[in-house]
Structures are given as C-alpha cells and as structure tokens.
Amino acid sequence: MSTRREDRDAWDAIASFWHDRMGEGNDFVDLLIWPIVRRLLPPLEGLRVIDIGCGNGLFSRKLAAEGARVYAFDYSTNMIDHARAATREHAIEYDVLDAVDPDDLAQLPTDRFDAALCTMVLMDMRNVEPLMSVLPRILARGASFVFATAHPCFNSPHARLENFGRDGEGSPTSVRVEAYRTPSRSRDMAMTGQPVRTLFFHRSISDLLRPAFAAGFVLDALEEPSFSPDHRGGRASSWGGRFHEFPPVLAGRFRKRKQE
Ligand SMILES: C[S@@+](CC[C@H](N)C(=O)[O-])C[C@H]1O[C@@H](n2cnc3c(N)ncnc32)[C@H](O)[C@@H]1O
C-alpha cells in the first residue's frame, strides 16, 4: 500500500501546513499531552533528553525551557527545517533520522540520554521494534522513556465519534469501534484539513507495548487523559469535552530494568 519513503514524503508534504496550524501547541498538546508527559518525566534541569519524531520541535522547546539539553530528530527534512527556524535555544540539536531504520538508529550514541520522549509518533511508525530495541543502548542507567500516542481503543481510523444531538450540547455521545485487535495501516488525517493524508498504523495496546517489554523495559506508569466535561472545543463530533468519557491519548513511562 505504501513504502517507507512514501510515509515520510507525506509528512514532508504537510510540514508547512502542520507548522502553521500547530505552532507552539493546541488543546491536545496544552491540555492533554504536555501536562501528562511533564509529570511522567523527571525534573529536567541539566538532563540530556532525546525527542523522537520531534515534528516542528514544540516539545523540544518546552523541554529546553525547563533546563534540558535536547537532541531531537524526525525523518521529515521539512519538519526539521521548521523546527530549526522556530528555535532560538542553543540547548537543542536537531537531526534527520528515520526511527524505523536500524542503520539510522545505529548512529545514536551509547548511554547518552537521561530520558527519552516520543509524543504522537508511534502510530505513525510502520514498525516500532527497531526503536524499542535501540533505546536500552542509548539510555543511561535509570533513564525513563515517556510516550504519548493516539489511544488505540478510541482514537484510531476504526473508531468513529458519534454525537446523537443536533447541536451537540448535552446530547449522548459514543465511540463506535469497528476493529481493534488486527493491526492495520491506512491513510488518515493527523490534523483536520491537512492537504495530504499521512499513514496511520493501528496496533492494539498489547501489540504496542510488547516490543518494549521484549527490549527489557518495565512499564511503571500509564495514563489516559481526556478533555474535561466543560471543554467546549471542536465541532459536535470531534474531540472535546462532549467526549470526556473517552480518552483520545494513551501515555506511559517505561524504565530500563535494573539489571541492564
Ligand atoms: C503527529 S506528529 C508529532 C510531532 C511531535 N512529536 C509533536 O508531538 O508535536 C508526527 C511526527 O512524527 C514524524 N515521524 C513519523 N514517523 C517517523 C519515523 N519513522 N522516524 C522519524 N520521525 C517520524 C513525522 O514526520 C511527524 O513530524
């Protein structure tokens, strides 16, 4: 259906649209993702952090603002161009690498990072095994790997938000899930209105976590943030407080097992 190169070309094609719309954040980033990943990460002052699939670098800049020294990479050259242009901080180094390519990952230095962050990228990757298996090598002892991804149950191409009211206010909502267990790939909108569809690789929660367990990680935190009931963002059938029962994001923290 697509090649790795086509996966990346789609992100290159929407990089300017993404950066113009996203800038330094939106409700997903500000209300759901950053508060959770910030809490799961250790105090950042002086820490060396790797930001995997950094996009336009907005999380890298947040990390640097809290005192971290950040190495950030993305496989889209155009995203990295936007990230560099939007960054004043000297504490951030950007690179172009593909997180599913073992040769690219082999370039990463050993024992270098005190923490790793990967926000809203795992569902864009056709294969998470190479990344999971390289992380124990590049992370220092005791380091944590914090991730946030589209919730595989409620926020996937197989899940449809349904709102049974005409205006959406106070009316019953549900999420209709048409498939879950079977891994799939499809072209999807990471952001409403994007000019080219990007690839979405659906995995169940167990399929998502298994490669990290196989690589020697232990999961010690799991979070499912959702919008608060009084959040009024979005259209009647898009994410916001009307769907507060259903978390659109799954976030967690892995740690290297002690003996490694
Ligand atoms: C939804 S954006 C998230 C960007 C950023 N982490 C954030 O939360 O704002 C997904 C990003 O992952 C990048 N990406 C997807 N697959 C990748 C891969 N195999 N290697 C590196 N970057 C990848 C895309 O180019 C895109 O910039």
The pLDDT of residue 238 is: 87
Helices (H) and strands (E) in the chain, counts: 8, 11
pTM of the model: 0.96
Architecture of domain 4-153+180-256: 3-Layer(aba) Sandwich (3.40)
Phi/psi for 198 (5° steps) reads: -100, 165
**CA–CA distance, 154 with 214 (Å, rounded to integer):** 26
Pocket probe mutation, ligand 1, options 19, 63, 70, 75, max atoms within 8 Å of Cβ = 75
**Alpha carbon of 14 to ligand 1 centroid (Å):** 12
Report the separation in Å between the CA atom of 169 and the middle of ligand 1, taken as the mean of its atom positions: 34
53 CA to centre of ligand 1 in angstroms: 4
Contacts of 182 (CB under 8 A, 6+ apart): none
pLDDT, residue 169, reads 62
State the distance from the centre of ligand 1 to the C-alpha of 140, rounded, in angstroms. Answer: 23
User: Per residue in 22-37, pLDDT tens?
Assistant: 999 999 999 999 999 9
Provide the percentage of residues in the chain whose pLDDT is more than 70.
95
Angle between helix axes 4-22 and 77-85 (nearest 10 degrees) is 30
Locate the domains of the chain by residue range: 4-153+180-256
Which residues of the chain are modeled with pLDDT < 50?
260
Residue nearest to atom 12 of ligand 1 (CA): 53
pLDDT digits (tens, 9 = 90+) for 120-163: 999 999 999 999 999 999 999 989 999 999 999 999 999 999 98
Q: State the pLDDT at residue 42.
A: 97
Residues 6+ apart with CB under 8 A from 158: 177, 178, 179, 180, 184, 202
Q: How far apart are CA 210 and CA 177, in angstroms?
A: 22
- What Rg do the C-alpha atoms of the chain give, in angstroms? 18
Instruction: Establish how many alpha carbons lie within 13 A of residue 142's alpha carbon, considering only the half-sphere containing its beta carbon.
Output: 3
Decide whether any atom of ligand 1 lies within 6 Å of the 199 Cβ: no
Rounded distance, CA 102 to CA 105, Å?
5
Give the number of other CB atoms < 10 A from CB of residue 165: 12
Query: Hey, what's the torsion of the CAs at 186, 129, 57, 200, to 10 degrees?
Result: 10
